[in-house]
Amino acid sequence: MSTLMGKTALVTGSSRGIGRATAVRLARDGALVAVHYTANKDAAEETVSAIRGGGGRAFAVRAELGVPGDVDELFAGLEAGLVEHTGATALDILVNNAGVMGGGSAQETTPELFDRLFAVNVKAPFFLIQRAMANLSEGGRIVNISSGLSRIASPGVVTYALTKGAVEHLAPHFAKLLAPRGITVNTVAPGVTRNDSPVFDNADAVAEMARMSAFDRVGEPEDVADVVAFLASPQGRWVTGAFLDATGGSLLG
């Protein structure tokens, strides 16, 4: 496929999980992908190698999100990589995937942890979009990754759910702002999706989680990456400000 040939993309938190699958998919569709990571350089380089091994183009960029100077650090690395590979700093696709879970119950959440989750999961995506506006091409794409937990009662992860609910408000407001430039902004909300957590090695736990989905299985990172790829493609041009349920029917009740 070459629907994104000549396009450039930044996928935050793309050394593993949904972010990695998204980076691989966008590269397979022809985009040059900046693989962002925070600490696991080896995992990011492995993602880059996998993309290049499949005939795609990618480079790694490091920045810790949720700390002072995070956006400047990320874009310094991003722009350097874009110039090296394309001779320009134009960005066509931004996928705000990076985030941290945790927070615990309402009784257990501390002010410090509350602030940390909002700094990484909400503040960073907001200011990444703000900064990317100068680089985004006409007809660009922004996709923010939320969570099905924003739509169901989960007292055990209330702070995390709050951050994802806040992230969902970025799409309609920025969609309205950027529509004159043909830039779409949307939200994708995964459900239980297989990752490197040890819980997915427990067959009983996986079976329990699978029952949340209408399809009686847990999601795979590629299930979500394919939805993101649609929104990033020319076929997604008429969808903006939207919330896309990619939970496998977990919100049907």
**Which residues are identified as catalytic?**
160
| Block residue for tokens 């492995």 | 46
CA-to-CA dists, residue 10 to 60, 82, 86, 111, 214, angstroms: 10, 10, 14, 31, 32
Cβ contacts of 152 within 8 Å, gap of 6 or more: 250, 251
Question: What is the widest separation between alpha-carbon atoms in the chain?
Answer: 52
Whole-number Cα distances in Å, 184 to 12, 26, 174, 192: 18, 16, 8, 26
Question: 204 Cβ partners below 8 Å, 6+ apart?
Answer: none
| Alpha-carbon distances of 68 from 63, 71, 120, 251, rounded to whole Å | 11, 8, 11, 36
Contact status, residue 185 vs residue 240, Cβ threshold 8 Å: yes
Q: Which residues of 216-238 are buried (b: 16+ CB within 10 A; e: fewer)?
A: ebbbebbbbbebbbbbbbeebee
What letters, b where the CB count within 10 A reaches 16 and e where it falls short, cover 89-126?
eebbbbbbbbbbeebeeeeebeeeeeebbbbbbbbbbb
Tokens of 120: 């990484």
